[in-house]
Amino acid sequence: MFKKILIANRGEIACRVITTARKLGIATVAVYSDADRDARHVALADESVRLGPAPSRESYLLADRIIEACLSTGAEAVHPGYGFLSENEDFARRVEEAGVVFIGPKHHSIAAMGDKIASKKLALAAKVNTIPGWNEAIESPERAVEIARDIGYPVMIKASAGGGGKGLRVAFNDKEAFEGFSSCRNEAKASFGDDRIFIEKFVESPRHIEIQVLGDAHGNVVYLHERECSIQRRHQKVIEEAPSPFISEATRKAMGEQAVQLAKAVQYQSAGTVEFVVGKDQGFYFLEMNTRLQVEHPVTESITGIDIVEQMLRVAAGERLGFTQADIPRRGWAIECRINAEDPFRNFLPSTGRLVRFQPPTQTMFAAEAVPEGGGVRVDTGVAEGGAIPMFYDSMIAKLIVHAPTRGEAIARMREALNGFVIRGVSSNIPFQAALLAHPKFQSGDFNTGFIAEHYAQGFRSEDVPHDDPMLLVALAAAAQRRLLERAGGISGQLDGHGVVMGREFVAVVKGVAGQHQYLPVTIDLRQPAAGNTAALLNIEVGGQTYAVAQDWVFGRIRATGRSNGRPYTAQIERQGLWLQVAHDGRRIEVQMLGRRAAELLRLMPFKAPPDMSKFLLSPMPGLLVQVAVQPGQKVMAGERLAVIEAMKMENILLAHADGVVGELLARQGESLAVDQPILSFA
């Protein structure tokens, strides 16, 4: 076994590899860019080496610097993680030529399977079912349109070296094919240094199911069952689970055996994933093979009890797999939610900045350790409170993984874990994750890769989140208000007759759009707590319902736990000015608890509309302004490109919403923009 390895990556996956390396007694070397100087993976490693400036093309994509770091630190092997150089054939070959072990498949396997065009040809030769398409690199957007017409819309435009949703578009007409080709090529060149694009038929209503494989240098290959990855937004996975609630045992076996056959055809060594698109009739087609560790590997680890990173290390060190196909168990159900720095209420635009609060739910299950009896909660992350989410890399904050005996129990455990996950300073997609888990179609397992596009076609709003008991949130706000009054009432020096009065009757004002608030009468009574219970028990009546609430929330702490009518809950409560913000099961409301007279007066207050900013093009996110496509005085039509912003390795094209004339340019190309910063005005 190696004595020292270098991890050629950052963030969550670098921390994950360090965890297993420590278990095996292996010293670790981290690499970092200037943006990651104080990152968690750097602090966890035994040594660290600076690669260069923040952009990945000047740091994490520099193969020479990484190989030099291996040699200078005495690292015997390099783990590439996922993304960056993990599927770069040239990097793997050069690592091997430098006398360093590449902890992953051999470069010839990456060449055969990591390249989507080459892998599809190999799959065809091996008589594996493949999707109709054009398997040669396409030279121009005009040619892309011709090919798309021949195949028949809709088509999927994909970068040969793509991954993680980058360099991928679905086109339903000529215009989308033309623009999609250009965007894919630009993203692929920026992210992977390879701008080859191909096109294939887009199978409508598909499910995305993948098989995890492990191979060693002695010809042994096994599969670790499947992962269901159909819940995707813009072709990026949002929720993954294992096993799949859809496929039969016969399909599972057939897919697994086909994946093994494909891996053996390229003498595959290490962990890899064979991805399939599966139709309603359970017919499956080879999509691609990811020749690296997958983001969602923890769900497979949870149901099999196999540390996949450990197996990668052992295989790279020349060991045989210590188990056969018959030895691999499948226990219980695991679900993973990707917690991303994006604002679901602003069309999922990236959100960067400082993590003012970062308080994950209590972990009872850990990477590189055995899964506890009955399952648990695991958090894989590369950040800590006070850390930053930079604009230069992907948007992942953490991965939240749960395991339970059944799928229903796993969903319930995940919902409770999301309720307790506190993130402030940047926006996160936690409310959206909670909404997905509460959706009846998800709970029944009746979904496909178009699920989010179908059910959230108009975007996502807090009101879209189904909630079993919406009045509970108001009751929790009332309980928090009682706590605040008790705190104020305990302040010394209050004049007789002028002290804080607890009161029992209030009006809960639930904030609405454009001042259309909801007014609900609330009564709060203090009940005697049960014997041995020190928590105050409040009897709260709201909206014709009664809640017996015991709560541990205190001012300044966001997470609140307790019991309501005997049932445990976890919610988030915080005061923002005069309003209390309450979040539970993805639903978020803002409430003011007022006396009757104050509520009457509030009803009379006119609504103050926000300023009209329609004469400006505003940056919808923090990012880099890479292009301004118009000039002052230029006439523009609705739908015309105005500017392009790059954030978290994704191009975001800003289009004109109406016909008009460009006035003044207020930001320059190359400038770093803040959210809502004006880019240009309209005359």
Q: What is the pLDDT of residues 659-673, one digit of tens each?
A: 999 999 999 999 999
**Has residue 108 been placed in a domain?**
no
Biggest alpha carbon–alpha carbon distance for the chain: 90
The DSSP line for 237-264 is EEEEEES-SS--HHHHHHHHHHHHHHHH
**Has residue 514 been placed in a domain?**
yes
Residues 535 and 427 grouped into a single domain: no
Tokens of 207: 């499910």
**Has residue 144 been placed in a domain?**
yes
Q: What is the pLDDT of residues 96-140, one digit of tens each?
A: 999 999 999 999 999 998 777 778 888 887 777 888 788 788 999
77-79 and 4-7 strand pairing: parallel
**Has residue 141 been placed in a domain?**
yes
Domain residues for 79? 4-103
The answer to whether residue 529 scores a pLDDT higher than 70 is: no
Task: Give the CATH number of the domain where residue 572 resides.
Answer: 3.30.700.30
Q: Counting beta carbons within 10 angstroms of the beta carbon of residue 150, is it exposed (0 to 12), middle (13 to 18) or buried (19 or more)?
A: exposed
Please give the backbone phi and psi of residue 429, each rounded to the nearest 5 degrees, phi first.
-90, 15
**Has residue 195 been placed in a domain?**
yes
Task: Give the CATH number of the domain where residue 191 resides.
Answer: 3.30.1490.20
For 72, other C-beta atoms within 10 Å of its C-beta total: 12
pLDDT band at 534 (very low <50, low <70, confident <90, very high): low
Question: Which is nearest to 570 in space by CA: 556, 552, 545?
Answer: 552
DSSP 345: G
Residues 515 and 570 grouped into a single domain: yes
Cα(217)–Cα(472) distance, integer angstroms: 58
Residues 212 and 65 grouped into a single domain: no
pLDDT of residue 53: 96
Cα(335)–Cα(243) distance, integer angstroms: 9
Residues 521 and 452 grouped into a single domain: no
422-424 and 207-215 strand pairing: unpaired
Residues 433 and 284 grouped into a single domain: yes
More reliable by pLDDT, 306 or 607: 306
Residue in this structure with the two tokens 């009897």, named with its chain if needed: 539
Say how many domains are in the chain: 5
**Has residue 117 been placed in a domain?**
no
Which domain-ending residue is among 543, 578, 604?
A: 604
Q: Counting beta carbons within 10 angstroms of the beta carbon of residue 681, is it exposed (0 to 12), middle (13 to 18) or buried (19 or more)?
A: middle
Q: Catalytic residue among 76, 87, 288, 574, which?
A: 288
The answer to whether residue 532 scores a pLDDT higher than 80 is: no
Is the Cβ–Cβ distance between 550 and 537 less than 8 Å? Answer: yes
Tally of residues, the chain: 683
Q: Is 210 a catalytic residue?
A: no
Is the Cβ–Cβ distance between 607 and 629 less than 8 Å? Answer: no
Which domain-ending residue is among 550, 579, 604?
A: 604
The answer to whether residue 227 scores a pLDDT higher than 70 is: yes
Question: Which is nearest to 308 in space by CA: 10, 17, 15, 2?
Answer: 17
Q: Counting beta carbons within 10 angstroms of the beta carbon of residue 139, is it exposed (0 to 12), middle (13 to 18) or buried (19 or more)?
A: exposed
Cα(670)–Cα(158) distance, integer angstroms: 27
pLDDT of residue 621: 85
pLDDT band at 533 (very low <50, low <70, confident <90, very high): low
3-state secondary structure 24-83: CCCEEEEEEEHHHCCCHHHHHCCEEEEEECCCHHHCCCCHHHHHHHHHHHCCCEEECCCC
Fill in the amino acid letter for 271: A
Residues 420 and 562 grouped into a single domain: no
Tokens of 73: 């630190």
**Has residue 191 been placed in a domain?**
yes
Cα(683)–Cα(661) distance, integer angstroms: 6
Per the prediction, the chain carries an average pLDDT of 93
pLDDT of residue 191: 82
Residues 328 and 458 grouped into a single domain: yes
As a whole-number percent, the residues of the chain with pLDDT over 70 amount to 98
Q: What is the pLDDT of residues 455-478, one digit of tens each?
A: 998 889 877 788 889 999 999 999
DSSP 462: G
Is the Cβ–Cβ distance between 482 and 538 less than 8 Å? Answer: yes
Task: Give the CATH number of the domain where residue 638 resides.
Answer: 2.40.50.100
Cα(170)–Cα(183) distance, integer angstroms: 12
Question: Which is nearest to 158 in space by CA: 172, 139, 137, 130?
Answer: 137
The DSSP line for 476-490 is HHHHHHHHHHHHHHT
The answer to whether residue 651 scores a pLDDT higher than 70 is: yes
Task: Give the CATH number of the domain where residue 319 resides.
Answer: 3.30.470.20
Cα(383)–Cα(390) distance, integer angstroms: 11
For 324, other C-beta atoms within 10 Å of its C-beta total: 9
Residues 628 and 600 grouped into a single domain: no
Task: Give the CATH number of the domain where residue 8 resides.
Answer: 3.40.50.20
Separation in Å, CA 167 to CA 63, 162, 187, 231, 669? 22, 6, 5, 19, 23
Fill in the amino acid letter for 490: G
**Has residue 122 been placed in a domain?**
no
Give the number of C-alpha atoms closer than 13 A to the C-alpha of residue 471, restricted to the C-beta side: 15
Residues 196 and 264 grouped into a single domain: no
Which domain-ending residue is among 51, 84, 103?
A: 103
Residues 169 and 46 grouped into a single domain: no
Residues 195 and 222 grouped into a single domain: no
Give the number of C-alpha atoms closer than 13 A to the C-alpha of residue 680, restricted to the C-beta side: 27
Mean pLDDT, range 21-42, rounded to an integer = 97
Residues 394 and 435 grouped into a single domain: yes
Q: What is the pLDDT of residues 557-609, one digit of tens each?
A: 999 999 999 999 999 999 999 999 999 999 999 999 999 999 999 999 998 88
Assessment of whether the complete model's pTM goes beyond 0.75:
yes
